[in-house]
Amino acid sequence: MAVIDRTRRHTTLRRVLALAAAAGSLGGCGLADIGGSAASQAAAQAQQAAEARRSEERVRQQIEATERQAQERRRAAEADAN
């Protein structure tokens, strides 16, 4: 029984060391930062989308203002013609 427990401990220790080595090597090449990069990239894209919506709204308001001015000028021209 003691031999089996010792073998299990060695196997577990080997797995832990292998995982630690893999994590260390992945961290060294930058793969560990992929999750953080993806999150910051998603936040940047969300911010760009929000800015695009605000820009679209500003353009829509400018178009509506221009259309109102054109309509007022037409009415003024029609009133002058009569």
> What are 6-53's pLDDT values in tens digits?
666 677 777 777 777 766 665 555 555 565 676 778 888 899 999 999
User: Is residue 37 a part of any domain in this protein?
Assistant: no
Please say if the pLDDT value at position 54 is more than 70. Answer: yes
- 46/77 same-domain check: yes
User: Is residue 79 a part of any domain in this protein?
Assistant: yes
- 48/82 same-domain check: yes
pLDDT at 56: 95
Range of the domain at 24: 1-30
In this prediction the pTM is: 0.49
Both tokens of residue 64?
């509506």
b/e map 38-77, b = 16+ CB within 10 Å: eeeeeeeeeeeeeeeeeeeeeeeeeeeeeeeeeeeeeeee
| Sign of the Cα pseudo-torsion (5, 8, 12, 17, in order) | positive
